[in-house]
Amino acid sequence: MNLPEDIILLVEDDHDQAEEIIEIIQQLKKYQVLWAKNGREALQILSKNKKLLGFAGSKIKCILLDMMMPEMNGMQFIEQLRKDEKKRIIPNSIPVVFLTAYEDEEKWYSAIKNRAAGYLRKPFGKYF
């Protein structure tokens, strides 16, 4: 079986939630899904999935990011991601969509400030 070349990185610490999201994405048969349980793991996965040492961007086309996780939460992760992207010779940004149960304006403003592409509320089961 050939895996699609385009990758979505799911950063989610809840195992059941992650399995549900992975299943939904895999039904599309357009993306390979990599799963990280926190922001630190996600940064390692990003590092391993660069194209041409990072000069040609990343194999990862989108990041689905939980807000609250152990070790490195979603806000800490996106801030580090955007800092790393600015250091590149040819800067490019990977779209990041936050997945969270939180709706407060402060978190949404922080997500926008860090160029989040979207903000989806959990749980998803009732939407799919």
Tens-of-pLDDT digits for all 128 residues of the chain?
566 678 999 999 999 999 999 999 999 899 999 999 999 999 999 999 887 655 556 789 999 999 889 999 999 999 999 998 888 766 678 999 998 877 777 777 777 777 888 888 777 665 54
- For the domain 7-121, what is the CATH code? 3.40.50.2300
Distance of CA 56 to the CA centre of its chain: 19
Which pLDDT does position 3 carry in this prediction?
65
Which pLDDT does position 54 carry in this prediction?
54
Which pLDDT does position 87 carry in this prediction?
80
CA pair distance 36, 13, nearest whole angstrom: 8
SS3 of residue 124 by DSSP: coil
CA pair distance 70, 91, nearest whole angstrom: 29
- Please report, for the chain, the start and end positions of each structural domain, with discontinuous segments joined by +: 7-121
Cβ count near 94 (within 10 Å): 18
Question: Cα-flanking dihedrals φ and ψ of residue 55, to 5°?
Answer: -70, -30
Assign residue 28 a region: left if phi > 0, alpha if psi is -120 to 50, beta otherwise? Answer: alpha
Number of helical (H) and strand (E) elements in the chain, helices listed first: 4, 5
